[in-house]
Structure 1
Amino acid sequence: MQTQLRSRLKSKKWGALMFVCNDLMVFPAQVFDDIVKKTLVTKNDMTKDDMVNTLMEWRLNSIQEDQAFVWPHFTPTVFAPPRAPWASPVLSHTFHGNIACRSLTDAERKMMMEDTARRMNWHSATGVGHIHQLLWAPCDNSDIGKEKLAKALNAEGIDALLYVCIDLNRVPLQLPRREVKRVLIHQVITWVGHAYLTSYLLSN
């Protein structure tokens, strides 16, 4: 998990890492005193690797949450929790595949499914059936099986994937605009993995 986090942080741009470091007021120890005095921080002051290491240290040792959490609702180990009046309140949620998902009531699911269905085009509507067929098929929970399933799901529209995720009660709290399909596909695949494990345990 740490390797994956480090890799994902390294993939971010210098400016994005700097924004988060500044937001958290965490900087490399060797330059901290100089950085906090500056009105403008440049790439000459701090490298990407410096910030990646600092954010890794913050995630591992500076907050109480070991598991996933919803930003910015975390608990520092030393300071008081941050005040973020701009942040939306945390809705009832649970984590699936390390992603925070809404815990929808039956009424909420019905309403969201109806709203999604109303805006569907023909491709999305038939896509729901295609996804159901994929989920009904014999389950291969291997990496190769998951890769094949992901490829097949990627051929379907976002509304179809969202409709199925609502039905499965696995709607992520946050859907990044550029990664909506990837996040929804991930939820379907993690549901398949959970269903496979449940079936295996019940049969043994």
Structure 2
Amino acid sequence: MDVDIFTVFSFIGTIAFALSGAVVAMEEKYDALGIFVLGMVTAFGGGVVRNVLIGVPVTTLWSQNTLLTVAMISIAILFVVPLRWIETWRKTEVYFDAIGLSAFAIQGAMYAVEMNHPVSAVVVAAMLTGIGGGIIRDILAGRKPIVLQHEVYALWAILAGLFIALGWANTTIELLILFTSVVMFRMLSVYYNWSAPKRSL
């Protein structure tokens, strides 16, 4: 499996989710520390949960110095840019969220495959890496996690994990096609307001 593409997905997901968490913190009027904390938690929370479940020591997070630095720099840049730039970015926020979901779902699945886990574990790893950070972000921001109520959000992460677990996406080209497909379907689900069946009391 191509190590370079694994690294690319890690960087893409980290930047996209760090910015997503930072923007949510700004929307909730958090201070500078809160913005950095929420951005970092969003970027790395899903990976930490995944590591716990597939048997990777949580402390491996601290060996990811480059990704931690990239996340911090991304949040710092967002914090100092003019507000009108952030407003423009918010209009495309769902697109970056889709990029983060796709990149992290694929990265999580590849991680589990590298450890020779079964199909079920690969799918769970993909889902938790893709949606875990967003769930933690929303909870810390005092919001109901979007992924659990409105959109078929987790479905795309599950399908990405399944494709990788079954060996249908192994090469760099296949992984890039899968990445693009997940982003596209995530955007379509937002545009057409697709949602899973629900039952309320």
Where is the helix percentage greater, Structure 1 or Structure 2? 2
Structure with the greater relative contact order (CA < 8 A, sep ≥ 6): 1 or 2? 2
Normalized against structure 2, the TM-score is what?
Answer: 0.27
Where is the strand percentage greater, Structure 1 or Structure 2? 1
**Max Rg structure:** 1
